[in-house]
Amino acid sequence: MWRRIRPTSGNVRIWQVLVLLLFFLLWHWISRDIQVAFFFGEPLIVLGRVWAWFTSGSGNLEVGLGDSTWFTLHFPGEIYSHLLITLTETLLAFGIGTVMGLGVGLWLALSPLTSAILDPYIKAANSMPRVILAPIFGMWFGLGIWSKVALAITLVFFIVFFNVYQGVKEVSPVVLANARMLGANARQLLRSVYLPSATSWVFSSLHTSVGLAFVGAIVGEYMGSARGVGYLILQAEGTFDINTVFAGILVLTLFALVLDGAVGLVEKRLMKWQPKSGETEKL
């Protein structure tokens, strides 16, 4: 009997669903105690709150620049406007942080002297607690989305930067020597050797960066915001509504998984040239 149902590569999805169901059943069982439910919430109420957010009420979002409003978006559910704000902050931070990390990582990896000069400052900036930057960005950029984007960029940038830097440094000297022997110039080396090497490292960091972009956006909304899923969670915490807090966490988790899946699809499409584990021949 166990041989038929034991975990295998063919029934991984089934086991993943079973683990999720077991988690919710255990949560439901322990939340029957009133005191436990006060601190950990009740899964049925949490799921009901998520459903109500998407199906009932209405929401509006004014789109514009500064004090001017270009148009107003109307939504059939309460959470859509908040979710759109958080996703916009996350995607902007994710995109800008990735491009900056890729560019600076390539630049310093290919410029050893500049890298040596800036090394202590980069390490110092990376070791700085990001939370203390939130009020500073709020003073610089106001309480709009850009203060949240700036905070999230500081989280995404260093993850991508260090991976790109290491990826370029890991390029085989033999490959570089062969490319130069064939007459490759600096631009051709960058396009055909360094970038492919760094790309695999970039995608390995992007899966982590997606979650960190969400973290930066939510922390920024905590520090000061009138919209966003982080704002909803903060309001719920102020009234000790633990079910709404967990509902917000659940929504953020689901959308983080969606973005991570999108990164995975792009990775599979762009990295077709890379052999799968176990397919390379031993030399």
Residue-level pLDDT at 195:
76
Q: What is the DSSP letter of 275?
A: P
Residue-level pLDDT at 280:
47
Please state the rounded mean pLDDT for residues 110-134: 87
Higher-confidence position of 61 and 212:
212
Residue-level pLDDT at 149:
92
Please state the rounded mean pLDDT for residues 56-74: 65
Please state the rounded mean pLDDT for residues 201-217: 84
Would you state the structure tokens that stand for residue 24, as one six-digit string? 């919710």
**Arithmetic mean of pLDDT over the chain:** 81
* Residue of 190, 145, 194 lying closest to 167 (CA atoms): 194
Q: Worst-scoring range by mean pLDDT, 42-46, 218-222, 260-264, 277-281? A: 277-281
Please state the rounded mean pLDDT for residues 68-82: 71
pLDDT of 227 above 70: yes
CA distance linking residue 137 with residue 224, whole number of Å: 11
CA distance linking residue 88 with residue 74, whole number of Å: 17
Please state the rounded mean pLDDT for residues 12-17: 81
**Cβ atoms 156, 216 nearer than 8 A:** yes
Higher-confidence position of 156 and 13:
156
Please state the rounded mean pLDDT for residues 182-208: 76
Share of the chain above pLDDT 90, in %: 15
pLDDT of 2 above 60: no
CATH code: domain 51-270 is 1.10.3720.10
pLDDT of 278 above 60: no
pLDDT of 67 above 50: yes
Residue-level pLDDT at 211:
84
Residue-level pLDDT at 173:
73
CA angle at residue 157 from 145 to 196, to 5 degrees? Answer: 130
pLDDT of 23 above 60: yes
- Name the residue ranges covered by the structural domains of the chain: 2-45, 51-270
Question: What is the chain's Cα-based Rg?
Answer: 23
